[in-house]
Amino acid sequence: MSCKGSSCRCRVKVVDGGFATQLSQHVDEPVDGNPLWSARFLATHPEAIVQTHLDFLRAGANIIITNTYQASVDGFMKYLGLSENESIELIEKAVKLAKKAVDTFMSDQNGLAERPLIAGSVGPYGASLHDYSEYSGDYADRVTRRQLAEWHRPRMAALLRAGADLLAVETIPAQAEAEAVADLLRDFPAARAWIAFSCKDGERISHGERFCEAARSCWERNPRQLLAVGVNCLKPRFVAPLVASLNDGRDACPIPVVAYPNSGENFDTQLGAWVDGDNCKPVETYVRDWLSLGVCYVGGCCRTTDQDVSRIRAEVKKWQAGRAATGTAANGHA
């Protein structure tokens, strides 16, 4: 089997945690419950955005993700009263604030650390609807792929124009939307991205398609530009079976995998809140198993903090040390 993708063996990199969760430590008003979620703070609390990124960088994140998951041109026009151009500029501002955080971090490190990367968050169409349909992907049954691509286009263009190192296409619930974005990437030939699905169990993505088939389809559609495919904002216990299914039978050339689940809590759409937090195992307890299955981008999503990221990084280092001690080639270094 020949290798068609960006890399058959990628270096392990630690991704940051739940931006909105961490942001709540830097603002005095609720972050959740707004149609724009954390993206509205780009306009009102830019320094809090920078400080949130810095929290994750200081915790050991190699990649920070912009808070544009719920940002869109039409959303900023509707809820912030901005013009189309102003909305695009605000999306670009998210990258500029992340760059400011990286510059500050590198200055603190006296240039001795590897420069962290900035991933522009590209959340699903359903997140803009503010009806929790990003948890089901039902909109994919009534919105065409062309419509989905054209909705995603201006945000992706703005993030790349502002200098994002890659795009984090994340929490995608439906195969059709993921494939539309994988195809759209070709219009930005210099861009690199990962695509991460939301999943409802250890086999299927939120809309119901089998994860291994949806993820492989995206990879095969655009292996040159995709850095990885995988999962995010799902229960940690689902990650291992999903990842194992993706690379089953691909020992000669495994697909690089990204995984950054939430804390394991349940989101109650009736309450609009996370529940059952007392029943969750810490995310870091799963990390070494994921790395052994080929995950090379690993972090946390909703309800995970800078402390979780610090513990995830520690587990990555332990895993790598164990591989080195036994003479087994590791995926790389964090």
- Asked whether residue 69 is assigned to any structural domain, the reply reads yes
- Asked whether residue 334 is assigned to any structural domain, the reply reads no
- Asked whether residue 5 is assigned to any structural domain, the reply reads no
- Asked whether residue 239 is assigned to any structural domain, the reply reads yes
The packing angle between helices 46-59 and 84-108, to 10°, is: 40
Alpha carbons 12 and 296: distance in angstroms, whole number: 4
Range of the domain at 72: 13-325
* Nearby residues of 114 by Cβ (< 8 Å), 6 or more positions away: 62
What is the value of pTM for the model shown? 0.92
| pLDDT tens readout for residues 197-242 | 999 999 999 999 999 999 999 999 999 999 999 999 999 999 999 9
- Asked whether residue 238 is assigned to any structural domain, the reply reads yes
- Asked whether residue 331 is assigned to any structural domain, the reply reads no
Alpha carbons 182 and 103: distance in angstroms, whole number: 31
CATH of the domain at 21: 3.20.20.330
- Asked whether residue 183 is assigned to any structural domain, the reply reads yes
| pLDDT tens readout for residues 49-66 | 999 999 999 999 999 999
- Asked whether residue 333 is assigned to any structural domain, the reply reads no
* Number of domains into which the chain is organized: 1
More confident residue, 193 or 6: 193
Q: Which of 60, 81, 53 is nearest to 12 (CA)?
A: 60
Mean pLDDT value across residues 85-95: 98
